[in-house]
Amino acid sequence: MEYTLIRDNGKKMRMSVTRQGELVVRAPYNVPTAKIDAFVERHKRWAANRQARHTAHPVPDFSDGSTVEIGGRQYTVQTGRAMLSNDVLSLPREDREAYLVAILKKYAYARMRVLVVSLCKQYGFSCEGVTITSARGRWGSCNGKKVNFTFRSAFLPDHLARYLAVHELCHTREMNHSPRFWNEVARILPDHAALRKELRSEYQWAMNCL
């Protein structure tokens, strides 16, 4: 299995897959190449699965002329002042990703806040606020009073954004994933299992994006 080796001052070997699907191994300077090869061989199934995800769901291209799905809607990227307008995502030529993150945070906050307020009124949830984070490993979280969502939720279509909102709001009543928690979710979304599966299988690429 091919990989890029990076030597560093770390204490142990680590493996990761880049946004482009490249396998990268980091190892201390004193670790022999043969030991690194053996490490890769032991973890080749994990690496292959991660690379397969990138092949099936590649990270979006944000260059001019490409299309990006935000909130279930397709936008064409062009150079200009940072904004979403009609079907166009305008981004400056310099610091493009930083401006895109700012746009996604604003979009995610507006959409998730509307969803949370609506669900609170409809189902009697009590929530003190919505926060948008830069979390990469989780779509959302809840401390019992407030709910948080990663800005990467902006890439999700509306039905999965609603699932996220319901999921986190149910944590204001059950701070766990016990049967009682899932019963709360099912009361609002009987098809929550299918939605959760779709989120994990079709949009995991978003966690490797930006």
Q: Does residue 153 contact residue 108 with C-beta atoms inside 8 Å? A: yes
Could you read off the pLDDT of 58-79 as tens digits, one per residue? 566 788 999 889 999 999 999 9
Rounded Cα distance between 115 and 149, Å, is 12
Greater pLDDT, 94 or 19 = 94
Greater pLDDT, 131 or 19 = 131
Percentage of the chain exceeding pLDDT 70: 95
Could you read off the pLDDT of 108-120 as tens digits, one per residue? 999 999 999 999 9
| pLDDT tier, 137 (very low <50, low <70, confident <90, very high otherwise) | confident
Rounded Cα distance between 196 and 4, Å, is 34
Q: Which domains, ranges and CATH numbers included, belong to the chain?
A: 4-56 (no CATH), 108-208 (3.30.2010.10)
| pLDDT tier, 123 (very low <50, low <70, confident <90, very high otherwise) | very high
Rounded Cα distance between 198 and 60, Å, is 18
How far are the Cα atoms of 2, 119, 203, 204, 205 from residue 18, in angstroms, in the given order? 13, 37, 16, 14, 11
